[in-house]
């Protein structure tokens, strides 16, 4: 016979609880670390979806067109030094011309397209002034992707964008077809407007 007492269940828990908790902590720590790594990888994957489509250097910094999704999503942003200044919802886009050292700052001509031949391109003008003040016009044009863009200095500084009159070649075969007339847009002192043809005088 012996008087030695066997440890009860409660006593055994108190005896081994610290070791059990230490093992659980060791098991959970790698899982937590792996979860943090996965979250970081997901964040990296989201940022890598962005793609710089085109860029131009201005006096106020780099002006960039950034695709923020898949091409079919038509999601783009116009950014100056990485900061968003306007949405550019289009499947394709780029910069067509850049006019520096104007009286009213710099002007960049941007084209945008959804692809196909229904409307090859539309245009917007981006004005960059001083310390990064940016203004962007609405889209304009006649769907032609090859306008004639010129800068006139006299009598006043202005940018002229002349479109030839866009139409599908197949349209020529339609009865009563008439070729669309050319159109001209003028950008002066930060204002864009279409020049209307002069009215014909009656004889």
Please report the pLDDT score of residue 82 as a whole number.
93
Backbone torsion region of residue 52, taken as left when φ is above 0, otherwise alpha when ψ lies between -120 and 50, otherwise beta: beta
**Coil, helix or strand at residue 74:** coil
pTM of this prediction? Answer: 0.70
pLDDT range class, residue 70, cuts 50, 70, 90:
confident
pLDDT range class, residue 77, cuts 50, 70, 90:
very high
- What are the residue ranges spanned by the domains of the chain? 49-195
Residue 165: how many CA atoms within 13 Å on its side-chain side?
6
Which tops the pLDDT comparison, 160 or 48? 160
């Amino acid at each position: 016979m012996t008087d030695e007492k066997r440890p009860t269940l409660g006593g055994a828990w108190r005896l081994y609880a610290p070791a059990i908790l230490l093992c659980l902590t060791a098991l959970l720590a790698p899982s937590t670390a792996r979860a943090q790594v996965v979250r970081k990888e997901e964040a990296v994957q989201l940022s890598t979806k962005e793609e710089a489509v085109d860029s131009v250097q201005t006096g106020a910094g780099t002006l960039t067109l950034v695709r923020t999704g898949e091409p079919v999503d038509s999601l783009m942003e116009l950014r100056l030094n990485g900061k968003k200044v306007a949405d550019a919802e289009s499947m394709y886009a780029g910069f067509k011309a850049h006019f520096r050292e104007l009286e009213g700052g710099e002007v960049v001509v941007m084209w945008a397209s959804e692809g196909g031949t229904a409307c090859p391109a539309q245009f917007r003008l981006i004005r960059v002034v001083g310390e990064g003040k940016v203004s962007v016009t609405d889209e304009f044009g006649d769907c032609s992707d090859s306008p004639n863009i010129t800068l006139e200095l006299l009598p006043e500084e202005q940018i002229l964008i002349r479109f030839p009159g866009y139409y599908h070649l197949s349209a020529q075969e339609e009865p009563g077809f008439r070729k669309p007339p050319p159109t001209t847009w003028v950008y002066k002192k930060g204002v864009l407007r279409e020049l209307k043809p002069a009215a014909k005088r009656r004889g």
